[in-house]
Chain A
Amino acid sequence: MKTATADPATAGRPPRAGLLTRMKRSYDRHWYAWAMVLPVVLVIGVLIAYPLGRGVYLSFTDANELNVAKQLGATEIPATYQFVGFDNYWRVLSGADGEFYPKLAWTVVWTVSCVFFHYTIGLGLALLLNRKLKGRSLYRVLLILPWAVPAFVATYIWRMMYNSESGIFNALLGQLGFAPVDWLGDTFMQKVAVIGVNVWLGVPFMMVAVLGGLQSISSEQYEAAEMDGANAWQRFRHVTLPGLRPVSATVILLGTIWTFNMFPIIYLMLGEANALHSEILVTYAYRLAFGSVRDYAGAATYGILILSMLLVFAVFYRRMLNRQEAAR
């Protein structure tokens, strides 16, 4: 009875108990919570933390298909790869392997342009849909449809449409009197093509998220702005955009991370042989790991570099948001 009413946290600070007692008390109070998060902690621990640790380790070795431990029939061949320190990182970052910086540049272009189009088009459509108009729910459903298509299916459909001989795009261009475009062969058009697919696929998510954000902005704020004589643009600038800030911050951060790591579109769109110039870092690392000679160490190095870049980005992004928040 007494313990139920006197919560140790609220009842003033009791004299500091010993470590063991505190742990015991903490356990008594929180074991429910810990039991509930245990499965996730296990999943993360076993399937993410351990492989991550292993990945870090591999990136410091020269492991590849030829020297890892393997089972040949009944005999077990032990691993013969060696610890090589920062060698892999040095080769990649100094540009000695020749692939990192070009692919990084393209990955950044890819991410920035995709997220930019996702967000601006999504915002535009959400603003249109947020008005009273006839057929609003029909538009909404039609505009959301691409989201319902699995990425690999979408990629195949677009690949068919981009086909240089029998694709619909070139057929239409032909009927309009233009020369056909080698969508998936030409290095530049490849990039346009994959960005197009990703934008088509990703806009609905942004639109829906922004729409939710718009609906959470109270109409009083608009009324107040109008009372102050704000015109449409000023209302958008000073009411809508700040009101969307929490949603925007989250979806842009997530969108950036997702796009940076977007695997299926580029991998499936261009096939394995055709993609050499339009690979992003993730697909390149994947090809290292499961390509002709499996370079496990190289793939791990790229993986760790990608992860570090995203972490740094996320930290700076959060910090920037916080600073803006403080400045307002």
Chain B
Amino acid sequence: MSTVTEPRRSSVPTAGGTAGAGTRPRRVRGRDERSPLASVGLHAALIAASAVAVFPIVYMIFISLRGRDGWTKPTSAEGGLEITNYAYVLTETEFPRWFANSVLVAAGTTLVGVFVAASTGYAISRMRFPGHKSLMWVLLITQMFPVAVLIVALYNILGGLGLLDSYVGLILTYCSVSVPFCAWMMKGYFDTIPHEIDEAGRVDGLTPFGTFYRLILPLAKPGLAVTAFYSFLTAWGEVAFARAFLSSDSMLTLSVGLQSFIGQHKAEWGYLTACAVIITVPAGLVFLLVQRNLVAGLTAGGTKG
């Protein structure tokens, strides 16, 4: 009996076999007990990984506070920290404008994207209509579309509609990128909501639309948060379409505008890092708020591949 419980993990003998040889074999998983040495190793590995994960971000903040040319002395902190870079990019550059553009485009994409993705996800999850299988496939396949296939034709279409260099054009484009995956995630999320709720709604005389809006959507808030966030991030960080479709200075989004700080001859990394911090910190905070739901949403979408 005890031999079964003994050889748990690692060659290091477990600290005194705390499970007690005489007790019943039912116990917490062996994976939860470990020797002090294994604990040290575990923490060391996690600390090292966390350091790698965090370092570039901390370094970005550090450089942004080091004045215009502080980046040229990457390891010294002499002269202290200052906020001149922030003052400069906020008052002297087009950065606030780009920021506003990005917010507008990303918010538009989120609104349209979430609405469309939610209703589609619901239909695919609950209704066995002719064509639902092929729609699932189409959604997955659109994930594979490289920008290169669509970009020329999209450029022509938007040009024909007069939507180049406009918010609407960009929002539509981003929806085509984010909606398929969002619909897929929402489908996974709706799958986890019991069908009985729909049936109860129908018995009470609600239409399928009514069931969807009044009963299911409120229950799907975590899933909606995930999709909203995903489409926001998609639009917030997109580069290729933005570079191709935007031409006038006042319309640029952040991902394109920032490029102007890195000239051919002299890069203004001080200014750029200040912008980068302003871009990352708010998005990062929201991200940390929703990340738990993000996990649930992603795995719900993931397990039902």
Contacts and interface: CB of A to CB of B under 8 A. Distances in A.
Given A44-B142, A209-B302, A296-B152, A286 B240 contact: yes
Contacts of B5: 226
B152 A289 contact: yes
Nearest to B276: A153
B149 A144 contact: no
A247 B302 contact: yes
Contacts of A222: 29, 31
Contacts of A146: 53, 56-57
Nearest to B34: A131
A286 B149 CA distance: 9
B295 A208 contact: yes
Given A54-B153, A58-B153, A282 B148 contact: yes
Nearest to B69: A166
B250 interface: no
Contacts of B31: 131, 222, 232
Given A168-B74, A212-B298, A268-B259, A55 B149 contact: yes
Contacts of B46: 125, 128-129, 133, 139, 143
B74 A209 contact: no
Nearest to B32: A132
B148 A200 contact: no
A156 B184 CA distance: 31
A193 interface: no
A264 interface: yes
Interface string B112-155: 00011101101110010110100100111111111111111111
Contacts of A153: 60, 237, 258, 276, 279-280
Contacts of B141: 311, 314
A172 to B, nearest CB: 7
A310 interface: yes
Contacts of B248: none
Interface stretch (A13-21, A28-36, A89-97): A28-36
Given A154-B56, A285-B148, A166 B71 contact: yes
B295 A211 contact: yes
Contacts of B115: 39
A52 interface: yes
A187 interface: no
Given A43-B175, A47-B175, A160-B63, A52 B149 contact: yes
Given A200-B52, A212-B295, A58 B302 contact: no
Given A40-B116, A226-B30, A306 B175 contact: no
Interface string A288-328: 01100000100110111011001100100000000000000
B135 A37 contact: yes
Query: Interface extent on A, as a size class?
Result: 35 or more
B7 interface: yes
Contact of B291 (A26, A144, A227, A296): A144
B299 A48 contact: no
A270 B184 CA distance: 34
A239 B32 CA distance: 16
Interface string B31-75: 110100001001101100110111011011001000000011111
Contacts of A310: 144, 146
Contact of A171 (B34, B74, B240): B74
A264 B7 contact: no
Nearest to A314: B144
Contacts of B237: 150-153, 264
Taking each of A55, A156, A249, A304, which has the highest tally of chain B beta carbons within 10 Å of its own beta carbon?
A156
Contacts of B156: 54
A250 interface: yes
A247 B259 CA distance: 37
A264 B240 contact: yes
Interface string B232-262: 0100111110011000000000110011001
Given A158-B56, A209-B295, A271-B262, 12 more contacts: A36-B120, A51-B157, A52-B150, A54-B153, A55-B150, A141-B291, A142-B53, A157-B276, A160-B267, A222-B31, A289-B155, A290-B243
Interface of A: 26, 29-30, 32-34, 36-37, 39-41, 43-44, 47-48, 50-55, 58, 121, 125, 128-129, 131-135, 139, 141-154, 156-161, 163, 165-168, 171-172, 175, 200, 203-205, 208-209, 211-213, 216, 219, 222-223, 226-227, 229, 231-232, 246-247, 249-251, 253-254, 257-258, 260-261, 263-264, 267-268, 271, 281-282, 285-286, 289-290, 296, 299-300, 302-304, 306-307, 310-311, 314
15 contacts: A32-B123, A40-B116, A40-B117, A43-B175, A131-B34, A142-B53, A146-B57, A150-B283, A161-B56, A161-B59, A204-B53, A216-B299, A253-B305, A289-B148, A303-B146
The list of the 5 closest CB pairs from A to B, nearest first, reads A212-B299, A303-B149, A285-B148, A51-B153, A150-B237
